Amino acid sequence: MNRISLKKQNGDNGRAYLYILPSLLVFAIFMFWPLFRTIYLSFFDWNMIKPDKKFVGFENYIELFQNPLTYKILGNTAAYILILLVINFVVPYILSFILSMMIKKGQNFYKGIIFLPSVISLVVGSILYMWILNPISGPLAIIAQVFGVTLPVWSKSEGLALVVLSLITSWKVFGYNFIVVLAGVTGVSQEVIEAARIDDVPMHKVFWDIILPMSSATGLYVFIITIVQGLQYVFTPIKVVTQGGPNYASSNLIYHSYHEAFVLYRTGMSSAFSIITLVLFILLLIIGFKLVEKGVYYEN
């Protein structure tokens, strides 16, 4: 009896592995293999075409930590995260609260309009913005001129370049985040809100004490993807508009890995950079989960 069930279980296990196999293969080929290869390459000095790779041990990592540029790019990355969190996490939250609680007419219209930019390619968007925001001859510059304002050349100003690129990225990311958050906010049970209304609880308190905690599962999801995806999406405007310039002021961790690998062809440095990025993000996410996870409310 016992033996039979064991055997049956083994058979089931085998079948289960068989079912996992396709996705496991895909993961192995497109995720694990590149990951190990990147770790391997980070110990070499190589430009992708030379037949011989020169083993340099930890030299790439040492150079990386000694280079002030690394810290500048870390700073930029943090700045991107903060700006993107404000625009693509905080603002959609407030906006979806307003839309679900206060605006009764034309909800679908607003949803459509706000979501629309998400379907347009970011490359197209970047080029479009480059034209609109041309500080000397773009439409915005001409309007500003009427009021006697000269726009700064943002693409060549440290600090400002980063902010504008974040705005371009938000144009793409905002809509999706908004729809997801809206679903979470609308999902909060109406009875609780009705009860609060009857007790004359002010709106900001409804938001802070009821909506926020009760939609926190969705909130956490959007929080995480804003960080992770936002940084990947930023890559496109950086590549199209500034190429990391001026003097690396708009580069972030991901773009700089690309820059080292496919502009300067220093594969080893780029790999080392990627590994550092990976480690940093793992740490960041662990901390994020540890801090936030406890307070999250899951309905089911």
Partner 1 sequence: MGKNILKLISLALAVMLTLTGCSVSGGDAKESSSGSQEKTVIEYWHINSESVGGAAVEQLIADFNASNDHIEVVGRYNPEEYKGLMQNLQAEQAAGNSPAIVQVGWTYLNYFSNNFEYTSPQEIINKYSPEDKDFLNENFLPNIMELAVNSNGEQVGIPYSLSTPVLFYNADLLKEAGLPEKGPETWEEVIQFARQIKDKTGKYGFYTREGPDSWTQQALIESNGGKMITIENGNTRASFASEAGIEAFQVYADMVLKDKSAIHASWDEGFQAFLNGQVAMLHTTIAFMANIEKTAQFDVRAVSSPVWEGKERVVPAGGCFLAITAKDADAQKAAWEFEKYLYSVESMAAWTKGTGYVPPRKDVIEAENGLKTYVKEHDMFNAAASQMDGVASWASFPGDSGLQAEQMLIDVRDQILSGSVGVREGLSQTQNNINALMEK
List interacting residues with partner 1 (CB under 8 A).
Answer: 47-50, 130-131, 134-138, 153, 155-158, 241-243, 245-248, 262-266
* Of 64, 49, 54, 45, residue with least CA distance to 268: 45
Return the number of the residue (227 or 234) whose C-beta is nearest partner 1. Answer: 234
List own/partner pairs for 287-292 with CB under 8 A and 24 or more apart.
288/223, 288/224, 288/227, 292/216, 292/220, 292/223
Query: SS3 for 300?
Result: coil
Return the number of the residue (33 or 297) whose C-beta is nearest partner 1. Answer: 33
Burial class (CB in 10 A: 0-12, 13-18, 19+), 56: middle
In whole angstroms, the minimum distance from the beta carbon of 35 to partner 1 comes to 19
List own/partner pairs for 22-25 with CB under 8 A and 24 or more apart.
none
Return the number of the residue (153 or 280) whose C-beta is nearest partner 1. Answer: 153
Please answer whether residues 93 and 181 qualify as being in contact, where contact means their C-beta atoms are separated by less than 8 angstroms: yes
Return the number of the residue (156 or 193) whose C-beta is nearest partner 1. Answer: 156
Please answer whether residues 233 and 167 qualify as being in contact, where contact means their C-beta atoms are separated by less than 8 angstroms: no
Return the number of the residue (42 or 226) whose C-beta is nearest partner 1. Answer: 42
* Of 188, 172, 149, residue with least CA distance to 230: 172
In whole angstroms, the minimum distance from the beta carbon of 61 to partner 1 comes to 18
* Of 171, 193, 191, residue with least CA distance to 114: 171
In whole angstroms, the minimum distance from the beta carbon of 153 to partner 1 comes to 5
In whole angstroms, the minimum distance from the beta carbon of 225 to partner 1 comes to 24
In whole angstroms, the minimum distance from the beta carbon of 67 to partner 1 comes to 12
Query: SS3 for 55?
Result: strand
In whole angstroms, the minimum distance from the beta carbon of 262 to partner 1 comes to 6
Return the number of the residue (150 or 190) whose C-beta is nearest partner 1. Answer: 150
